[in-house]
Amino acid sequence: MHSMATTPLFDVRVLDASRVLAGPFCGQLLGDLGAEVIKIERPGSGDETRTWGPPFAGETSAYFLSCNRNKKAVTLDLSQPEGLQLFYELAKKSDVLLENFRAQSADKLGVSPEKLLGQNPRLIVCSISGFGRTGPWNDLPGYDFAMQALSGLMSITGPVEGPPSKVGVATTDVLTGLYAATSILACLHAREQSGHGYAIDLALLDCAIAAQVNVVQAYLTSGKMPARQGNAHLQIVPYQAFMTADEWLILAVGNDRQWRSFCEAAERFDWASDPRYATNTQRVTERGVLVPMVEALLRTRSYGDWHARLEKAEVPHAPVLDYPQLFSLEQVAARGMKVTVRDPAGKTVELAGSPFHVQGAALPTPTMPPLLGEHTDAVLRDMLGMNTEAIEELRKKKIV
C-alpha cells in the first residue's frame, strides 16, 4: 500500500506530443490525476492554439489555457536526427506517449507506434487522428467541425426548422480526449499483468458516432432518421426548453410519477387523469397536442413562480444560465470549478477547475499552463542527465 497522500497517477510519466485539443485535453486529465505530463512542442512556434485568441492572459491564449494545465513544456525539433534521438530517449523513460500526427507524417518522422514500441516495449502509445489508422480515409486530416458534420451530430442538432447546427464547444475533440484517457488507463492496468506496451488507435469520427448513444441507436433500431428535436427530447415528453412569462425554463419530466407531480404543481388535474397522457410512450405519441398546451400554460407565470411550484413538487427543472450567472453560484464555488493560478511573473490567472474529487487520494494543486519551452532545460537535465553546455549546444542548432 502506498501512503494515502499519493495522487492516483503519481508514478506515471506522459509525453504529450499532441496539439490543438483532443490530445492536450487528454494529457491535462492525466495531469489532473497526478501524472507527470511533459508537453513536446516545436521550437519557435509551439502548439498553434497558443495564438488562438483573443482573449489572452499575458501572452497565452485562453484556448491554450483551457487544456494545458499541470504540464511541463519542452521544445524539440523532431525533424532533426538529434531531436528525434532525444525524443526516443524521453520515450524510453516514459509510460505513455500521446500523439496526433497524421499516419504518413508519423511514419516519415520516425514516430509511428511500431517505431516507438521498438524503442520502449512497455510504452503505451495513444494515437489520435480524424479517421484512425485503417480504412480509406486513414490519412485525411480531421477537425472537430468536420467531425460534427460527418458523424451525423449536426444533423440532429439545432432548431427543428432551422439549419443543422454544431454544438457550441468542440465536443468531438473533448469526447475523444475522454475516450483516450479511459483507454490509456485501461492499458496501464493491463500492462501490470502483461508486462508489455500497447498501441491505441483512436479516431475523432468513431468517438463522435459512439457518443451519440440513444439517438444513433434509435436510427439503427428503427431504420428511420430521427427528426431534429431542437431543445426537445426524441424519446421523452415533456422534456425541453419552455419560455415562461419572463425567461427560459428547462422542464425535464423523466417518468410518469414526475408527470403527475407536474400536473399537480401546474393545477392541471385533468391532464394527470387523462389516459392519453398517462405514460411516456403515449405522451411522445401525443407530443403534437400536448407540448403546445404545456407551452401556453408555462407562459402564464414567471420563472420564479414556476421554480417555487416545481421545486416543492420535486419536478426536475432548471434555468438557462450564462457564464457570469454560472460562476456566481455557491455550488460552483463549493466544487472548486474556478481556480486561480499564477503565471511566471506572479500575475493571477483564472482557470476552469478539474471535476475530479477522489477520497483517499491527493490531487495535484493546479499549475499554470506552461510557457513555450519553459521546462526544456530542467527536463533534459533531470531525465536525460544533460549538462548546461550540452543543452546550449542543442539550442544553437535549434534542436530545442
Catalytic residues: 173
Measured distance CA(59)–CA(45) in Å, rounded: 13
Amino acid at 5: A
Q: Is the peptide bond before 43 cis (omega within 30 degrees of 0)?
A: no
CB-count burial class (<10 Å; 0-12, 13-18, 19+) for 6:
middle
Cis peptide bond upstream of 55, omega within 30: yes
Task: Give the whole-angstrom CA distance, residue 48 versus residue 42.
Answer: 10
CA distance linking residue 100 with residue 298, whole number of Å: 49
Phi, psi dihedral angles at 126 (to 5 degrees): -110, 110
The DSSP secondary-structure symbol of 365 reads: P
* Number of residues that make up the chain: 400
Query: What 8-state DSSP symbol labels residue 49?
Result: G
CA angle, residues 122, 187, 384, in degrees to nearest 5? 35
Cα–Cα distance between 161 and 289 in angstroms, integer?
18
* Nearest in space to 166 (alpha carbons), one of 145, 151, 152: 145
DSSP 281-293: HHHHHTHHHHHHH
Spatial separation of the C-alpha atoms in residues 44 and 65, rounded to whole Å: 18
Alpha-helix residue ranges (DSSP H) falling in 129-244: 144-150, 171-194, 204-210, 213-222
> CA–CA separation, 321 vs 319, rounded Å?
6
Which of helix, strand or coil describes residue 38?
strand
d(CA 42, CA 78): 8
